[in-house]
Chain A
Amino acid sequence: MRLVAIFQLCLLAALSSGCAVVMERPALEDLGMIGVMGFDYLNPRQAKIVVTLPEPSKEAKEKTQMYKTIAAFPNEALMTLSPKSEKTMSLAQLRVVLFSEEYARKVGIREVIENLYRNPAVGDNVFVAIVKGSVEGLMGAKYENKPEINQFLNDLLHPRRDTAFHSFLTIHDTIFRLHGETSDLDLPYLEQQQGDIQITKIALFKRDKLIGFLTDREGKINQAIRARLQLPDMNFTITEEDTGKKHVEIVVDFVTSDSKVKVHGGVEAPSFQIDMKIYARVLAYTGRRDLENPDEWVKVEKDLEHELDRQGLELLKKLQKLGVEPANLTDYVRAKYHGEWHKEMAEKAFANAKFAVHTDFVVIGFGTLQTSSIEPDSMLALGRNQGMQQALGHIPLQTIQMGN
C-alpha cells in the first residue's frame, strides 16, 4: 500500500514537471534540414563547402536555400553556417554528399566521410557521388524541368535497376570499402549537361583518391561479376560469322544474373575463374538468324556468351592495369588464407592475378519481337514454350529443347 502511494506521487511529480522543459526545443520547422552537402577543392587543408536545404515555406520564391562556407570538416562548416541562416542547421536529414573531381583527386574523401560517419545525427544511407567541375556550379545552376534539387539528387542516386551500373554506395559502404580488406570504391560521376544532371561515368578510387573512370557499360559488367541480381538493360554489337552479317545489334533485358568466383593458386599469384550465369530476354535483334529455330537460338546465346566473356576479361585487365578492384575478387583469396590479412596483400594478389571469364547465357524469351515476321502457328508454339519455361522455373532452355 505504501509503495502504491509512492508510485503515485512519483508519477504525479514526473508528469507535472514534464511540460515545462519542452517548449524551447527547436521543432521541425525551426531546423534547417541539410539535404545535400558538397565539397570543392580550395587548398589541401580546407574545402569550399556548399550545402542546400529545402525551403518548406510556400511564400518563398526559391524552393532551395543554398549556403557556402570554407571549412575543413562538416562539423566546422555547420558552425560557420549557422549565423548565416535563420534556422538551426541540422545534418539529420542529410541524403547526398558530393565531392568535386578535383577534391577527390587531390585531398581524398576519407576524412570527410569518416567525420560524417562518426556523427550520430547523420544516417548511414547517405549517398556519395563525384561531380565533374565544381559542386557549387552543379548545385547553383537552375534546372527548370527538375523537382527540388535535394530530392532530385536523392532520387537520382537511389538504387534503381536502370542505374545499377554503379554500386549505390552510401556512407556505410564507402567506409566499408575504404577500410575493407579487399574491394575498392566505385562511385557515380555526375555531369551537368544542358540543364540536366546525369550519371555519366563511374569514378574509380585507389584507397580514397580518384584515379580513373569506367564507362557505364564497364560498370554493368563489373556489377555482373559482383553478382548483382538485377542488372540494367544492355546492348551488344556482335558479328554473326556464319550468316555473314556484321554489326548485329542485340538489346538484352537481364532477368537475373549470378556469378561464382573460384580461386586457384596462392596469395602470390592467384588465378580467378569467374562463372557468370545470366538469364535474359532479348528485346531487340537485328540479325539474320531465325529465332524460331532452337538451334539458331542457341547460336545467339553462344554469340552473346563470347561477347560477355571478352568484355569481362577486358574490364578485368583494365582494372588490373589501374591497380584497383571494385569487383571484390580478392575477397575470395582472403577467404582461403589463414592468418593476418592486409589490404596490401589484396593489392599484390590482384596485380599478379590471372583471369578466366566464362558466361552461361540463357535467353528465356524474345518478348513480342517477332510478331511481324513469324506465322501465327509458330507464335503459338513460342508462347507455349515460354509458358512452359515459366512453369519450370529457371531450367536452362537448352535442356528443354533437346527434350523436344
Chain B
Amino acid sequence: MALWHWWRNQVQRTSPSTNQRDLTYPEDKREITKEAIQQELQDADDVIYKEFTLHGEPVTMVYVKTMVEEALLQEHVLEPLQAKKYDDPRHALPLAGELKNDELPKLLKNLLSGFSILMFPDRHLIIQINTNKIPQRSISRTETESTVLGPQDGLVESLSSNHSLIRRRIISTHLKIKTFLLGTEARVSVSILYMQNIANSENVERLIQRVRNVEFAGFVSLMELKQMIEDKPYSPFPQFAVTSRPDTAVKALLDGRVLVMMDGSPEAAIAPSSFLEMFTSPEDFYNHWSTATLLRFIRMMGMFVTILLTATYVSVLTYHPEMLPPALLTILSESRSKVPFPPLIEVLIIELVIEILREAGVRMPTKIGQTIGIVGGIVIGTASVEAGLASNILIVVVSVSALLSFLPPNFLMSNAIRFVRYGMILMAGWLGIFGQMLALAFLFAHLLSLTSLGTPFLAPVILRQWTDITDSVIRAPINYMLKRKGMTRTKNPSVRPTDEE
C-alpha cells in the first residue's frame, strides 16, 4: 500500500496542473530607481552603470556588458543624443521605447536580454533601446533531417532568425506569431505560430492554454517543453512531430497546424500531428509521387518488420520450430548448434551490442564514430559468429532490423520503435508468438488511445475523411491533394479551388 501511495503521488506530481496564472511578469510591480536596479542585480559584475550629463542634463545609463555590443551603443545611442540639442530624447532615438515608472520587472527582463536603459531623472523618463548582440550560429543545413532535393536551410537557435525563416516563406497577414515568456527562472521566449485563416482556433487556444500552464524553472530545449504539453506524457511515442526544417514547418502551417518554437532550440514542434507523419519526409513531396509512395511503403513495412523480426526469431526457435520450412530449418539448426545461449539471451546480447555501438558512435566525434561503427559491425559480428556466441542468421536478422529502425525520419519515433522492440522480444521469449501478438495488440490499443492535441493519433490510418488517403501511406500525385487533412479540423478545408470558375 505504501508503494501504491508513493506511486500515485509520483503520477500526480508529474501530471500537468490546471490552475491558471499570468506568467509573463509574475513579480510585483515596483518603482524604477537606480538603487532598485542595483539591489536586484547585486553581484552581477557584468552590469555597467554609467552616470554622465547630456546637454547639461544628468543621465544614468544601465546595460549588461556581455549582451551589448558597445560600438553599437556608441554609434546608435550616444552619438545621436550628443549630436544636437533636443526637446525630448525620444525624438533623437525614434526606435527607443518608454518604460512606465513602475515596470521594474519588465525593465529587468529587457536589460538582461540586451537592452540598454537610459534614465532621465529630471524628466521622469526611462527609455529602453535594443542594442543586443548575442553570439549566434549562422543558418546551416540540418543534420538530422537532411534531404537531397529541396531547401537546405535549417532552423537555428535564435527564435527571431527562425521567425524570419518562416516569414520569408509565408508572406501573409494571416501568419500569427504569439510569444510568451516561460520558465520561472530562465524566462525563455516561446512562440506559437499559426495561420489565422486556416488553423482551427480551438487547437490554437488549447495549445496556448497548455503552454501558459507550464510551470518549470527553465527550459534548455523545446524537447523538454514538448514532453510537458503533449497529451500523454507517459507514452513512449512522440505525439507532436518535431522538425528542424523550415519547409516542413511551413507545410504544417499551411495545413492548419500550430507550431511551437522556443528561443535557443533549433526545432519546431507541430501539433496536432499523426502517427503516419512520423514516417514522412519533406522529400516525399520533392520526389515524384510514385517514388514517394514506394518509400513510404518501405518505411511503414520497415516499422512492422523491425519490431517483429527479431522477436519472431526468438519465438520460432523457442516455441514453434515447426514453422520453419526444411531449408531454413537446416541452415538455422546448423548455425545454432554451437551457440551456448537460449535464443532469447542470444538475441538480447546482439541487440544490445548494436545499441551500444550506436550510442558510442553518437557520442564520439564523427570520424571516430565511423571507425567504431565499422569495427563493431564487422569485427564483433564476424568474431562472435566464429566463436559460436551467436548464429550468423541472427547477425543478419539483427542488422536488418537495426537498419530498419533508423528508417523513420522522425528521430523520436525511431527511438520509440526501438524501445518497443525490446518489449516485443521479451514477450516472444516469454509466451512465444502469442505473447508477440498480445504485445502487438497492446501496442495498437495504446496507439489508438493516443491523441495529439485532442485528435486521434492514428487518424490517417483510420481515415478521418476520404481525402486523407492522398497523403497517407500513399502519396498521391499533387493534383489530387484538394483538401487539408481531416485531423487539423481546419476552418478552410480546400487547398485550392476545385470548380472551373
Contacts and interface: CB of A to CB of B under 8 A. Distances in A.
A2 B345 CA distance: 35
B111 interface: no
Interface string A86-110: 0000101101000000000000000
Contact of A21 (B11, B326, B430): B430
Interface in A11-38: 15, 18-19, 21-23, 25, 27-29, 31, 33, 35
Nearest to B11: A5
B170 interface: no
B426 A19 contact: yes
A1 B12 contact: yes
B7 A54 contact: no
A399 B180 CA distance: 87
**What is the size category of the interface that chain A forms with chain B?**
20 to 34
Interface string B142-167: 00000000000000000000000000
Interface in B224-271: 234
Interface stretch (B113-121, B128-136, B335-343): B335-343
Contact of B326 (A15, A25, A92, A151): A151
A384 B374 CA distance: 60
Interface string B296-339: 00000000000000000000011111101010011011101101
A31 B321 contact: yes
A56 B429 contact: no
Contacts of B322: 92-93, 121, 123
Interface centre among B329, B334, B336, B344 (most CB of A within 10 A): B329
Interface string A130-155: 00000000000000000010110010
Nearest to B12: A1
A335 interface: no
A8 B4 CA distance: 11
Contacts of A4: 11, 234
Main secondary structure of the interface of A (DSSP, over half): mixed
Contact of A57 (B234, B320, B337, B423): B337
B343 A28 contact: yes
B324 A23 contact: no
A22 B430 CA distance: 6
A95 B326 contact: yes
Contact of B8 (A5, A19, A27, A29): A5
A15 B317 contact: no
A267 B339 CA distance: 65
A25 B336 CA distance: 15
Contacts of B333: 28-29, 33, 54, 56
A51 to B, nearest CB: 16
B453 interface: no
A248 B488 CA distance: 80
Given A33-B321, A95-B326, A27 B334 contact: no
Interface string B343-360: 111000000000000000
